[in-house]
A and B are shown apart, each in its own frame.
Chain A
Amino acid sequence: MAQGRKGKLNYRCPRCLMREIDMDMLYDRDADEYYCLRCSFVGDEQEVIRLNAQFREKYRDRARRITDF
């Protein structure tokens, strides 16, 4: 199997991110996929982006401007 390298934009493992662990993934060029050294996550860029969007959903006010304090 190919040597794992740092992928673009330092994608963190989205599964580890769900438990608030910042874990950079390695990228396998031959398989065109990212993988995590810790939690066994494996997925292509689209899967990472999809899960990152899911992570952000917990911030229900992420797009809301709040001025009443």
Chain B
Amino acid sequence: MGEFYVTIIHRPEMVPEYLQKEAEEGKAEDLTRSGVIQESLDIFRTQQRVAHENGLHTTIQMTYASLFNAEVVAIAKEHHEKYGDEIGSTFLGIQCQQFRDKFQSKELAVWLFSMEDKRRIVDEVIGKFYEVFGFYPTSTGSYYMDAELVNYIKSRYPMIKVAVATCWEEGPKAYWNANNSWYTIFDGSPWNPWIPSKRNIHCPASDEEDDIGIVAIPHLSRDLLAVFDGPGSYYGTHPQNILRGMVYEEREIPYFKNMVDQYRAMVKYNRGYAYNMMFVGPGWMSKTGRWESDYAFLLKSYQDGMAYYGQLKREGKAKDVTMSEFADIYRRDRPYIRPECTLWKDILYGSKRQQFWYVDPWMRTCLDMNQGGAMIDLRPYAAKLVRPCGVGTKCLQDASYPFLVQSFYRAGYFTHYAGEGAVKSCKFAHKGEEVDLCTCRTLASFSEEGDTRVVTLDPVEIEFASFTISVQSVFRFAEGTGEIEIVRKIIDTTDPQAEVTINEYITACYGTTEYPEDLTGVRLTLEGASGTESIDYAYRCREAEMDGIARADALVPQVDTRLTMRANTDKAAGYFREGFAFSPMYTIGIKKAVKGKEELRTWLKVEKAS
């Protein structure tokens, strides 16, 4: 692969939630209200026209409701013939009178039905599609497609090869942003396409046996920095999302192009491949205006966005592909263990902040250069947690993949004057003084050494009372290992005789939301020269340290994960620290006293525990 691929998706929704809400103002619900259906159809036609005018072909994801509308079906067939648009299916937009009559449910989210209902809905939606078009779709999607749902789809309709499967970091933040009323709670996926595991849709498959059989596409390409700490519905390749976030001035939105260009730049990190998708439902382009924007601005933003993709295509800088075309291309050159990574930079707030994002079948993680390269997100994909969602399951609406570290949900470096937060970082200490790299903001660069991705941070200065050291951090991600090598090297010092203790640590927990989970039973272990020492977490503030450490690990049975730290020297000490109820965290670490230009080299490994 050596291209920037763009997928444009339109869905003819007959009863988009926003339009319906407006139409219902002061009126009783009526799913057959012709004004809503006509407006929605007009918007769909407009979206298709704008794409075609810019020389782009699309994927038309037929909603269940639209399968009953002869006009939409005719448009889809015509555009397939004329422009090469793909006709796919979607589980968005299922609500219509026919659905209501058949399933007696107002549920709009396919992943939230019971498994029994999911099966019935899949058969009805795909069956109806076949009845209308005479062939089966090869693409489908929703805001979220749980593994159990996709496994069923594949068992019945093996021709389906691609799905819009998650929205990146649409979790508690999206819920909060929507006045706690929008139940898309599924943080923790990759931000770019991946081949999911049969066991959990968030996790990239490890091998052919684990391959669920589709290529997953995230719903929209999102700003990796802004969305990690803000609403997903403000910052993505969705012009009306950007209007919702009010990222514009004088009706111009350079931010959209900036985001597309930053995605284009991902070719640098991913073997010449980059991807974008744009997927705007008709409800976002209401004729009465939305998000403080009149229809003219809603339309202009859409036209401008599409025009930019069209321009890139004309210049040979982008290739427009349907979902199924993309799936074929992706599969041609995608070894299971190849990671996806990106050194994302701020394009919104005017800082120089960078975050390095990394995904492979073992983990998803993020390093924040604003905090000296601290690890602020860690999802143990290696565990491949089977975690069904929907009615009748334990998780129900909480479809997120659990984290061990999420520094914005669980404090990170800065806590309110008590306890610790979840973060992985390093401290440098000398005679009672201690500096955490979280306080040393810096920048980073990316390189590759064979199959190892390397993130090299610019050196930072650490000032002790009587001397100064210059420290460089290097993170090495060796493909197929589930392990990160971390080097903390003192590259300069004003006092070569001064002894400094380098303390590499990870403070972690587990969960899917801001709220703490019970850590009882987490096992902390040290193995080293003097044997093994272990405790089961009981909020008792216990600590232990061992010289000649071989490994320090945390076994977290709640998420079937083992987290291990090791070093390449027998001169280092390992330690663990149990927390307490007001500080529900556990810490493992390795430290070593050094002089002059020495270093500490450690490895962090993420494994499935069972």
Given that A23-B179, A69-B261 are contacting pairs, would A63 and B252 also be in contact in the complex, using a CB cutoff of 8 Å?
Answer: yes
A17-B247 Cα distance, complex, nearest whole Å: 13
Taking a contact as CB atoms closer than 8 A, the residue among A8, A22, A58, A65 that contacts B254 in the complex is: A65
Pair A21/B176 contact, Cβ less than 8 Å:
yes
In whole angstroms, how far apart are the Cα atoms of A67 and B262 in the complex?
8
A52 to B26 CA separation, bound complex (whole angstroms): 27
Contacts of A55 in B (CB 8 A): 246
- Cβ–Cβ < 8 Å partners of B176 in chain A: 20-21
User: Are A59 and B247 neighbours in the complex by a CB distance under 8 Å?
Assistant: yes
Cβ of A29 < 8 Å from any Cβ of B? no
Asked whether A56 lies within 8 Å of B249 as measured between CB atoms, the reply is yes
Segment from B82-90, B284-292, B590-598 that makes contact with A: B284-292
CA distance A5 to B25 in the complex (A): 8
Contact count A vs B, C-beta below 8 Å: 88
Q: Is the CB of B249 within 8 A of A38?
A: no
Q: Which chain B residues (325-357) contact chain A, with CB distance < 8 Å? A: 345-350
Cβ–Cβ contact A56 & B247, under 8 A = yes
By the criterion CB–CB under 8 Å, are B179 and A22 in contact?
yes
Cross-interface CB contact of B22 among A6, A16, A17, cutoff 8 Å: A6
Q: Does B178 contact A (CB under 8 A)?
A: yes
Number of interface residues of B (CB under 8 A): 39
Query: Does B32 sit at the interface, judged by CB under 8 A?
Result: no
A11, CB-defined interface residue at 8 Å: yes
Among A6, A16, A69, the most chain B Cβ lie within 10 Å of the Cβ of: A69
B528 within 8 A of A: no
Q: How far is the CA of A66 from the CA of B262 in the complex (A)?
A: 9
Q: With A and B bound together, what is the CA distance between A9 and B244 in angstroms?
A: 12
Residue total for A at the interface (Cβ-Cβ under 8 A): 28
Whether a CB of chain B sits under 8 angstroms from the CB of A62 is yes
Query: Interface digits, A1-19 against B, CB 8 Å rule (1 contact, 0 not)?
Result: 0000110111110001100
- Encode B234-274 as 1/0 by CB contact (under 8 A) with A: 10000000001011111010110110011011000000000
Compute how far the CA of A44 lies from the CA of B543 in the bound complex, rounded to whole angstroms: 59
For residues 208 through 240 of chain B, which have their beta carbon under 8 Å from a beta carbon of chain A?
Answer: 230-231, 233-234
Closest to B263 in A: A69
Which residues A40-67 have CB closer than 8 A to chain B? 52, 55-56, 58-67
The contact of A61 among B173, B179, B348, by CB within 8 Å, is B348
Residues of A within 8 Å of B349, CB to CB, are 58-61
Nearest A residue to B252 via CB reads A63
Interface residues of B in 408-457 (CB under 8 A from A): none
What residues on B are CB-neighbors of A64 within 8 Å?
254, 258
What residues of chain B lie closer than 8 Å to A11, measured between beta carbons? 292
Contact assessment for B350 and A60 in the assembled complex, using a CB-CB cutoff below 8 Å: yes
Contact across chains for A9 and B347 when beta carbons are under 8 A apart:
no
Return the contact of A12 from the options B25, B252, B292, B346 (Cβ within 8 A).
B292
Q: A20-B231, A69-B261 are in contact. Are A59 and B178 (CB under 8 A)?
A: no
Kindly report which residue of chain B lies nearest to residue A55, judged by CB atoms.
B246
Instruction: Point out the residues of chain B lying under 8 angstroms from A10, CB to CB.
Output: 289-292
The answer to the question of B293 belonging to the interface, with a C-beta cut-off of 8 Å to chain A, is yes
| From A9, A22, A55, A65, residue with most partner B Cβ within 10 Å | A22
A12 surroundings in chain B (CB, below 8 A): 291-292
When chains A and B are docked, how far (Å) is the Cα of A64 from the Cα of B257?
A: 10
Shortest Cβ distance from residue A45 to the other chain B in the assembled complex, whole angstroms? 11
Check B294 for interface membership: any CB of A closer than 8 A: yes
Q: List 6 A-B pairs, Cβ < 8 Å.
A: A5-B26, A6-B22, A22-B177, A59-B348, A61-B346, A69-B264
Q: Which residues of A contact B (CB under 8 A)?
A: 5-6, 8-12, 16-17, 20-23, 38, 52, 55-56, 58-67, 69
Beyond contacts A56-B246, A67-B261: 10 other A-B pairs, Cβ-Cβ < 8 A, are A5-B25, A9-B292, A10-B291, A10-B292, A20-B173, A62-B255, A64-B254, A65-B258, A66-B261, A66-B262
